[in-house]
């Protein structure tokens, strides 16, 4: 494996054989059980991470709440300057961190680099944003009164992240939260803990150099910390990225104490392929969407809804494209598809195929687990295509693996209904050169998803837009546009600079 430079990358990122929290330096305390992180690429142990106990969590929260008191007083553009330096530090470590993401999570090195690039982009974005945390002014109905609204920092933001974007999701939250004046406590996925340790090491250097209280950026490790965060009234906002099943629990628990949540949960994303589509474009969008990151993106393409007049031709082109896919070590740029995260995910993939067959699905491209040289981790599977009905139970659920369901439609209205007729509402797309179809798809009678694209697949997004989805995807928005508002509290201010005290709505109260 070391011809891919993994050892060097781990060294550069300060990853040791056993990584444990320290009371000096980064704000991470960990004296609990050990998580072993195995690479899905080759099944080898990459390193170990100690988990945070309840006492460790308490220490971290004390550091974070203390740090908030000073961080909120730093002018926002000065906070932006720190985030700018974080972006610079990430640029320096881009190669090493991209490699670790690829090795620990299993996505291609190119996608690992892309994930780090997203981190850099969100830092750049946040720097500009730090001078644009605007409120409105409005005209008062009362004379000599001034009204406006302003945004104040919220406090401690708890970020709980999924394994599939082990570093980018955290940065979308942290970079924005920091310029907003919040401090962050991050609980990374226990499947990719070393990526979090690496980020924390990078951040710590920047904070130290600038004499910033390191409590502004904390981590806690281990699944048990999830519920500590959910129930902690000192955390006004929990930003959760993960499955709908756990998101539902987080949502209820945080709501019970009137905390806020940003929920970024599962997707069930479809591409509508119109008879007016450019088929070459469809193939790139659909195949990358379905097999990229081995189908483990929240925006992965799970359903292809194809017009009946071009159905056979599209299926043939798809079969042809799938035979050309090479599956193997994701650090090797010649491979298109890497492994699933672990054997549990492989079992979920196999169960989904069986379930689809039992509901009447017809296999168009055969799946299966790969064995032999290069596949020793047991996590490599063949991307699979199944002809199915939208109503099948298995089609209605998100399977986090490269299983693509294909189905036919006859009118665009029917296609939009099928696209919408699932519990999730994250990403959607139509491939068409027909302006009426495209506009209908984007209209209020069109896609009900948080992301709706024309002639672009469902997979991936740019940080400039607000990212998130509706229905069981949770309704949260992160990243660009005005998503920053969720990280601040809004206050309406009215100032009377006159010599009388008129009441609103013309009410008289004389005595």
Rule CB under 6 A: is residue 249 a binding residue for ligand NAD? yes
Read off the DSSP letter of residue 264: E
Exactly one of 47, 193, 242, 457 binds ligand NAD (CB under 6 A); which one? 242
Q: What torsion, rounded to 10 degrees, do the Cα atoms 35, 38, 44, 47 define?
A: -40
DSSP β-ladder status, 145-153 and 488-496 = antiparallel
Q: What's the rounded Cα separation, in Å, for the pair 218 and 351?
A: 38
- In the complex, the smallest distance separating the C-beta of residue 344 from ligand NAD, rounded to whole angstroms, is 9
Contacts of 248 (CB under 8 A, 6+ apart): none
DSSP β-ladder status, 237-241 and 156-160 = parallel
Which window, 136-144, 208-216, 259-267, 410-418, contacts ligand NAD (CB under 6 A)? 259-267
Exactly one of 57, 71, 109, 163 binds ligand NAD (CB under 6 A); which one? 163
- In the complex, the smallest distance separating the C-beta of residue 251 from ligand NAD, rounded to whole angstroms, is 10
Rule CB under 6 A: is residue 259 a binding residue for ligand NAD? no
Strands (E), 279-426: 301-307, 362-365, 384-387, 403-409, 424-425
Rule CB under 6 A: is residue 427 a binding residue for ligand NAD? no
Exactly one of 89, 194, 195, 250 binds ligand NAD (CB under 6 A); which one? 250
For ligand NAD, which is the closer residue by CB, 130 or 399? 399
For ligand NAD, which is the closer residue by CB, 245 or 490? 245
For ligand NAD, which is the closer residue by CB, 227 or 278? 227
- In the complex, the smallest distance separating the C-beta of residue 415 from ligand NAD, rounded to whole angstroms, is 23
264 is catalytic: yes
Exactly one of 40, 47, 80, 266 binds ligand NAD (CB under 6 A); which one? 266
Rule CB under 6 A: is residue 269 a binding residue for ligand NAD? no
Rule CB under 6 A: is residue 160 a binding residue for ligand NAD? yes
> Catalytic residue among 104, 118, 214, 264, which?
264
Residues 222-241 that bind ligand NAD (CB under 6 A): 223, 226-227, 230, 241
Exactly one of 157, 426, 449, 461 binds ligand NAD (CB under 6 A); which one? 426
Strands (E), 308-426: 362-365, 384-387, 403-409, 424-425
475: left (phi over 0), alpha (psi -120 to 50) or beta: left
Nearest in space to 90 (alpha carbons), one of 180, 210, 203: 203
Burial class (CB in 10 A: 0-12, 13-18, 19+), 196: buried
Q: What torsion, rounded to 10 degrees, do the Cα atoms 426, 410, 396, 330 define?
A: -60
Just list the catalytic residues: 264
Binding footprint of ligand NAD on the chain (CB under 6 A): 160-165, 187, 189-190, 223, 226-227, 230, 241-243, 246, 249-250, 264-267, 298, 398, 400, 426, 469, 473
């Amino acid at each position: 494996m070391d011809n891919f430079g993994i050892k060097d990358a781990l060294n550069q990122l300060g990853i040791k054989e056993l990584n444990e929290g320290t009371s000096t330096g980064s704000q991470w305390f960990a004296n609990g059980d050990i998580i072993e992180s195995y690479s899905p690429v080759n099944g080898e142990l990459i390193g170990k991470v100690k988990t945070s106990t309840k006492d460790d969590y308490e220490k971290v929260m004390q550091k974070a709440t203390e740090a908030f008191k000073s961080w909120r007083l730093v002018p926002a553009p000065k906070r932006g300057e720190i985030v700018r330096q974080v972006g610079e530090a990430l640029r320096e470590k881009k190669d090493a961190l991209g490699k670790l993401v690829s090795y620990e999570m299993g996505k291609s090195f190119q996608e690992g680099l892309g994930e780090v690039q997203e981190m850099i982009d969100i830092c750049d974005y946040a720097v500009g944003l730090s001078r644009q945390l605007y409120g409105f002014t409005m005209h008062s109905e009362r004379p000599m009164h001034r009204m406006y609204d302003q945004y104040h920092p919220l406090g401690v933001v708890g970020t709980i992240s999924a394994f599939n974007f082990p570093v980018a999701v955290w940065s979308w939250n942290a970079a924005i939260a920091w310029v907003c004046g919040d401090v962050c406590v991050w609980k990374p996925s226990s499947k990719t803990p070393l990526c979090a340790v690496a980020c924390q090491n990078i951040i710590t250097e920047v904070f130290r150099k600038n004499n910033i209280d390191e409590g502004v950026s904390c981590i806690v490790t281990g699944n048990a910390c999830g519920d500590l965060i959910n129930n902690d009234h000192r955390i006004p906002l929990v930003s959760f990225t993960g499955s709908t099943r756990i998101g539902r629990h987080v949502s209820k628990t945080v709501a019970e104490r009137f905390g806020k949540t940003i929920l970024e949960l599962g997707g069930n994303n479809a591409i509508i392929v119109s008879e007016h589509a450019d088929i070459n474009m469809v193939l790139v969008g659909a195949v990358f969407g379905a097999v990229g990151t081995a189908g483990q993106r929240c925006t992965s393409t799970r359903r292809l809804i194809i017009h009946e007049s071009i159905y056979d031709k599209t299926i043939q082109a798809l079969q042809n494209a799938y035979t050309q896919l090479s599956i193997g070590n994701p650090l090797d740029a010649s491979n298109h598809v890497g492994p699933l995260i672990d054997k549990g995910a492989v079992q979920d993939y196999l169960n989904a195929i069986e379930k689809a067959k039992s509901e009447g699905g017809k296999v168009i491209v055969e799946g299966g687990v790969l064995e032999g040289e290069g596949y020793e981790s047991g996590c490599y599977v063949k991307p699979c295509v199944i002809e199915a009905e939208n109503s099948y139970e298995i089609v209605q659920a998100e399977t986090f693996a490269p299983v693509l369901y294909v189905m036919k439609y006859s009118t665009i209205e029917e296609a939009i209904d099928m696209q919408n007729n699932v519990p999730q509402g994250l990403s959607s797309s139509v491939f068409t050169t027909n302006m009426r179809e495209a506009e209908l798809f984007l209209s209020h009678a069109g896609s009900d998803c948080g992301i709706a694209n024309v002639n672009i697949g469902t997979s991936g997004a740019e940080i400039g837009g607000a990212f998130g989805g509706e229905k069981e995807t949770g309704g949260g928005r992160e990243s660009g546009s005005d998503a920053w508002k969720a990280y601040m509290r809004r206050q309406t201010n009215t100032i009377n600079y006159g010599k009388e005290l008129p009441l609103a709505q013309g009410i008289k109260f004389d005595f």
